[in-house]
């Protein structure tokens, strides 16, 4: 497994942070979930054996058994591609996406449901706040450094916290994509 940190990881973080920070709250959530969904699909394609047909009916298309974000998250976890904290973070991002995309009353990340889901994401990985601050510094994003024991969401607000969390999870998913090796298969068929 190759090492993915330092400038390379910071560049990935910065790229994703810039991409969604230009969106409205609703747009950022929908784009973020779409990116994560697509990234998991790419990881699964890299890991699984190639389909017998040209098209991949397992992952692609309206009725693909593994076409949904939830299915990709769960399969990635059950195959050991992602760990439990990443699974939980992705499921919470999916829930935020569902809240924002399917409930007209939730147009802002300031909504209490969205805030509580982001707080849960922060709780899934002890030390994530320190990792985010370190990566922000490496990426040169230019966030004002705020210190203290306050929760990230209280320090930077809901929107900035969402952007930071999304960028951090994308960085982790990119690391998985860079290091994934295809499933081992029979050497030859008779």
Whether the per-residue pLDDT at 148 is higher than 50: the answer is yes
- pTM listed for this prediction: 0.88
Question: What is the length of the chain?
Answer: 190
pLDDT tens digits, 51-97: 888 888 899 888 899 999 999 999 999 999 999 999 999 999 999 99
pLDDT in tens, 103-113: 888 789 999 99
The percent of residues above 90 in pLDDT, for the chain, comes to: 57
SS3 breakdown of the chain: % helix, strand, coil, rounded to 5? 65, 0, 35
* Structural domains in the chain, sorted by start: 6-179 (1.20.120.330)
What are the b/e assignments for 70-106, b being 16+ CB within 10 Å?
Answer: ebbbbbbbeeebbeeebbbbbbbbbebbebbeeeeeb
Range 120-132 average pLDDT: 88
Q: What is the mean pLDDT of the chain?
A: 88
**Residue 161 clears pLDDT 90, i.e. is over it:** yes
How much is the pLDDT for 160? 93
- For residue 129, give both structure tokens: 């706040």
Kindly report, residue by residue over 132-145, the tens digit of the pLDDT: 888 888 888 877 66
Buried b (16+ CB within 10 A) or exposed e, 26-61: bebbbbbbebbbebbbebbbebbeeeeeeebebbee
Task: Give the model's pLDDT for residue 2.
Answer: 39
What is the structure's pLDDT at 189? 57
Q: How confident is the model at residue 1 (pLDDT cuts 50, 70, 90)?
A: very low
Q: Given this model, what pLDDT does residue 188 score?
A: 55
- In the chain the first and final C-alpha atoms are separated, in Å, by 32
Helix crossing, 6-21 with 152-179: angle to 10°? Answer: 120
Q: What is the mean pLDDT of residues 6-29?
A: 92
Position 145 scores a pLDDT of: 60
**Cβ partners under 8 Å of residue 60, min gap 6:** 67
- DSSP helix/strand/coil, 38: helix
The pLDDT, as a whole number, for residue 16 is: 95
Predicted local confidence at residue 54, as pLDDT = 86
CB 16, CB 8: distance < 8 Å: no
């Amino acid at each position: 497994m190759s090492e993915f940190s330092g400038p390379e990881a910071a560049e990935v973080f910065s790229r994703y942070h810039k991409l969604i920070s230009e969106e409205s709250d609703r747009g950022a959530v929908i784009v973020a979930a779409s990116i994560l969904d697509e990234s998991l699909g790419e990881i699964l394609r890299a890991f699984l054996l190639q389909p017998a047909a040209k098209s991949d009916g397992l992952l692609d298309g309206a009725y693909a058994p593994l076409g949904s974000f939830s299915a990709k998250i769960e399969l990635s976890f059950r195959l050991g591609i992602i760990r439990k904290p990443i699974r939980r973070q992705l499921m919470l991002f999916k829930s935020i996406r569902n809240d924002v995309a399917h409930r007209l009353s939730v147009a802002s990340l300031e909504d209490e449901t969205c805030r509580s889901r982001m707080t849960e994401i922060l709780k899934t990985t002890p030390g994530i706040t320190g990792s985010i601050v370190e990566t922000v510094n490496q990426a040169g994003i230019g966030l004002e450094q705020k210190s203290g024991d306050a929760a990230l969401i209280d320090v930077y607000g809901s929107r900035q916290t969402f952007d930071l969390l999304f960028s951090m999870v994308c960085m982790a998913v990119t690391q998985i994509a860079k290091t994934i090796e295809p499933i081992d298969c029979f050497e030859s068929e008779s």
